[in-house]
Structure 1
Amino acid sequence: MTIGTKIAWDDTVLPFQLDRSDIRGRVVRLDGVLEDVLRQHAYPPQIEALVAEAALLTALIGHTIKLRWKLSLQIRGEGAVRMIATDYYGPTDEGEPARIRAYAMFDPEALDAGAEPFTQIGNGYFAILIDQGEGTVPYQGITPLTGNSLSACAETYFAQSEQLPTRFELSFGRSTLPGEGEQWRAGGVMLQHMPKASPSVAGEGGSGEGGLLTHADILDGDEGENWTRANLLLDTVEDLELIGPQVGPTDLLVRLFHEEGPRIYDPQPLRFGCSCSEDRVRQSLSIYTAEDLADMITDEGVLTADCQFCGAHYELDPATLGQQPDAGGDGA
């Protein structure tokens, strides 16, 4: 698609609240971040689409959490796509950007070029992991893969694990700006009902796929009507409004939700960022025995490691590692 002039909202998350409906939300725009994520790898189109969707979800979900360090999404499957992993690192200081990285593991020979990307994951699970840093216990929530998209899986996760009705509307793809080459652009809106003090769930099972919960099992009365109304308004959004760049997020919110009393907060900038380092590689190798390390040495006499997220390549002298390989030793 060819689109118009670029605006300053790229690579940002804009938080908002709909006062009439008791709903909070986020608008996200990604261009440079997504380019940086995807150009690290020569993914086939189906994998690019899944990674783009996962990165969008990560940006939206990460910003809703009071995060001191890292939120991760993991999608694991039994099909051609084995895993999609993303990380969102919260800003280290006020005004600083949040950082995102993502990658996928897949069997290229098992991919079906004519099938929809999501179907190539197969059976599996969708997980959100929250790590608030040193001295804390990481949180992990898991739900089965459901629906026909990663967005649907995320909606099910929030309904089932958090009892929070949530809606995602995303768009992503390659686009062309006048005078520039083709590049990835993506955008989306997240709606989420404000947390209730004591959410009540009707019945023993949910009305969703496999008995999982949906918003209808959590909300009723005025809350249910408000949620339905806000979702009907979001249904009118168009792909070009989501990805921009001609329509600013604030203009989009007014267009969609002007009757809901949208309240807009400060935007959060986003950047591609990886936390890999030689020190982290050394730490990960410290769990191996000398015998294990000996098996990893290349013909050139070094240990090598590659970061799946950013492609960084590390070469380490075995003699500088904590457990030095010893071909004639006992592996201690």
Structure 2
Amino acid sequence: MNIGSNIAWDDTVLPFQLDRTDTRGRVARLDGVLEQVLSQHDYPPAIEALIAEATLLTALIGQTIKLKWKLSLQVRGDGPARLIATDYYGPTEDGEPARIRAYASFDKERLDPNGDPFPQIGKGYFAILIDQGAGMTPYQGITPIAGGSLAACAEAYFAQSEQLPTRFALSFGQSQVPGQSLHWRAGGMMLQQMPKASPGASGGGSGDNGLLLAEDILEGNEAENWNHVNVLLDTAEEIELIGPTVQPTELLVRLYHEDGPRVFDAQPVKFGCTCSSDRVRQSLSIYSAKDIGHMTTDEGIVTADCQFCGAHYEFDPLTLGFEAEKDPEGD
């Protein structure tokens, strides 16, 4: 098999539909994107794994948003892994790549750097926010941390907030192909069952702390179809999910050749950050001159670092805040 031809699927999300079961889904492969996300900071292995999983989930979920929209995923907990944050920016034009960025905040003293990642989040919440742009009210959905992985949290989110049965099968970690150095890769599949009628689940579900699960939402033929596609997905091997030696289209044919698989245009993704000096100035515009003074270093400047990409900014304090005395253009 020609590995070079398969590398073309890296950093893409391929949407598909299974016509005979009314199931839609996506297959994602992340290579360079994930490597760039993780290279921005010197994260311990446990945090790298959480960021890899969150970034892959964000790519799979974010593919459905419209041009120029932004989807954010946040995981907050009371454990040593305090925050995992990702952003997915929809393409600015059709055919253009989407952009992804991510970062984590953690308590180094409490963290077990090589321990099981997910339990180190502790109790908290999993949230998705969709920003449709200026003048529009952002949508936000929140569900408690549940299950044994971020993928399980995302499944609970869709069942609880959207009453939409959803399944994720993910694979991520450091890998190596001939002629390349050891680096991070991730791949996975997302399935969603499309109900023919409005979901009718109400009250508590059968999941952790009464959260809804797929079996609480579906019944009859829909439940049978959902069980069918999940049983087949369970047969997917990690190497098939993560690639690069198995193309996403080959995986879909192997799993669902009897279910009428139909693929759509793949969405390319890349690492990208929207930080800028103007955005930093805007964020500081709410502060008084006294507040800005407290932020000023002994060298007489105000500094800021982007948590996502590591960009470093320096400002003349007299150009900042709502009491600025100088024009920023002269900074």
User: Do the two structures share a fold, i.e. TM-score over 0.5?
Assistant: yes
Provide the rounded CA distance (Å) in 2 between the counterparts of 1:25 and 1:193: 9
Q: How far 1:115 sits from its partner (Å)? A: 3.0
Q: How far 1:194 sits from its partner (Å)? A: 1.8
Residue number in structure 2 paired with 1:55:
55
Q: Deviations over 1:129-165 (max 9, x none)?
A: 0000001000110000000000000000000000000
Secondary structure of residue in 1 paired with 2:109: helix
Runs of 4+ displaced beyond 4 Å: 3-6
Secondary structure of residue in 1 paired with 2:258: helix
Q: How far 1:197 sits from its partner (Å)? A: 4.6
Does residue 134 (structure 1) correspond to residue 134 (structure 2)? The answer is yes
Provide the rounded CA distance (Å) in 2 between the counterparts of 1:196 and 1:66: 24
Q: How far 1:67 sits from its partner (Å)? A: 5.2
Contact 1:26-1:189 at 8 Å conserved across structures: yes
TM-score w.r.t. length of structure 2: 0.95
Provide the rounded CA distance (Å) in 1 between the counterparts of 2:183 and 2:68: 32
Residue number in structure 2 paired with 1:271:
270
Residue number in structure 2 paired with 1:44:
44
Does residue 256 (structure 1) correspond to residue 255 (structure 2)? The answer is yes
Note closer, same or farther for the CA distance 1:304–1:239 as it changes in structure 2 (3 Å cut): same
Contact 1:67-1:132 at 8 Å conserved across structures: no
Note closer, same or farther for the CA distance 1:195–1:271 as it changes in structure 2 (3 Å cut): farther
Residue number in structure 2 paired with 1:144:
144
Contact 1:20-1:260 at 8 Å conserved across structures: yes
Residue number in structure 2 paired with 1:89:
89
Q: How far 1:291 sits from its partner (Å)? A: 1.1
Note closer, same or farther for the CA distance 1:114–1:95 as it changes in structure 2 (3 Å cut): closer
Residue number in structure 2 paired with 1:227:
226
286-295 or 161-170, which moves further after superposition?
286-295
Provide the rounded CA distance (Å) in 1 between the counterparts of 2:273 and 2:39: 14
Gapped regions of structure 2 (runs ≥ 5): 326-331
Q: Deviations over 1:244-296 (max 9, x none)?
A: 10111111100111111100101000000000000000000011121111000
Provide the rounded CA distance (Å) in 1 between the counterparts of 2:46 and 2:176: 20
Structure 1 segment 1-332 matched on structure 2, within 5 A: 7-66=7-66, 68-113=68-113, 115-201=115-201, 204-324=203-323
Provide the rounded CA distance (Å) in 1 between the counterparts of 2:237 and 2:246: 11
Q: How far 1:65 sits from its partner (Å)? A: 3.0
Provide the rounded CA distance (Å) in 1 between the counterparts of 2:106 and 2:292: 27
TM-score w.r.t. length of structure 1: 0.94
1:15 is aligned with what amino acid? P
Q: How far 1:321 sits from its partner (Å)? A: 2.0
149-158 or 289-298, which moves further after superposition?
289-298
Gapped regions of structure 1 (runs ≥ 5): 327-332
Identity across aligned pairs (percent)?
Answer: 71
Provide the rounded CA distance (Å) in 2 between the counterparts of 1:41 and 1:106: 12
Provide the rounded CA distance (Å) in 2 between the counterparts of 1:170 and 1:67: 26
Contact 2:40-2:309 at 8 Å conserved across structures: yes
Secondary structure of residue in 2 paired with 1:110: coil
Contact 2:70-2:89 at 8 Å conserved across structures: yes
Provide the rounded CA distance (Å) in 2 between the counterparts of 1:8 and 1:114: 32
Secondary structure of residue in 2 paired with 1:17: strand
Contact 1:318-1:324 at 8 Å conserved across structures: no
Residue number in structure 2 paired with 1:329:
none
The CA RMSD measured in Å over matched residues stands at: 1.5
1:240 is aligned with what amino acid? I
Contact 2:287-2:321 at 8 Å conserved across structures: no
1:88 is aligned with what amino acid? Y
Aligned length, in residue pairs: 323
Contact 2:67-2:92 at 8 Å conserved across structures: no
